[in-house]
Structure 1
Amino acid sequence: MTIKPIAPPQSLQTPASGSVIVGPWPSYGAFKNLPEQQRWLMYSGAKAHREMLEQAGFVMSEAYDDFVSRVMRELDL
């Protein structure tokens, strides 16, 4: 039996801005039932992950304020 690896999410290439991640990506809704303290840890991790991607040259199609609102809503914070 051969197991094929899962392909990473595809990103758009634009000459002016580099790779654009079309989102929202990822979704944090699956974690909304965790205790509040752990949901806040997930929130800080989500922000750190986005910052890491941006520092690596990725451009997020979702505005930062929209990202924060969405993650807080998905985590029920």
Structure 2
Amino acid sequence: MNTRLQTQTAEKGPVSVIAGPWPSYASFRSLPERERWVLYGSAKAYREALEDQGLIMAEGYDDFVRRVTRELEL
């Protein structure tokens, strides 16, 4: 399964779009709340790092936040 799609922008040329599958954080629900918040921060930082490298996520940011907070029960 190809998880990267190629697209183009006028400014940057070819851009990789990450279409998933997305990592699940549901298995971390049993951790203390503070540790789940740390994982949430790490997930956001990892996504930002990928975007800083020019990758585009097919999952919108708001959808990403909703999914991760739901999976971590935050």
Structure 2 regions of 5+ residues with no counterpart? none
Would you say 1:37 and 2:30 are equivalent positions?
Answer: no
Q: Where does structure 1 differ by over 4 angstroms across 4 or more consecutive aligned residues?
A: none
Q: Aligned partners of 1:37 and 1:47: how far apart in 2?
A: 16
Aligned residues: 69
TM-score using structure 1 length: 0.81
Q: How many percent of aligned residue pairs carry the same amino acid?
A: 58
Quote the offset at 1:27 in angstroms: 1.3
TM-score using structure 2 length: 0.84
Quote the offset at 1:10 in angstroms: 3.3
| Bigger strand fraction | 2
The RMSD of aligned alpha carbons is 1.5
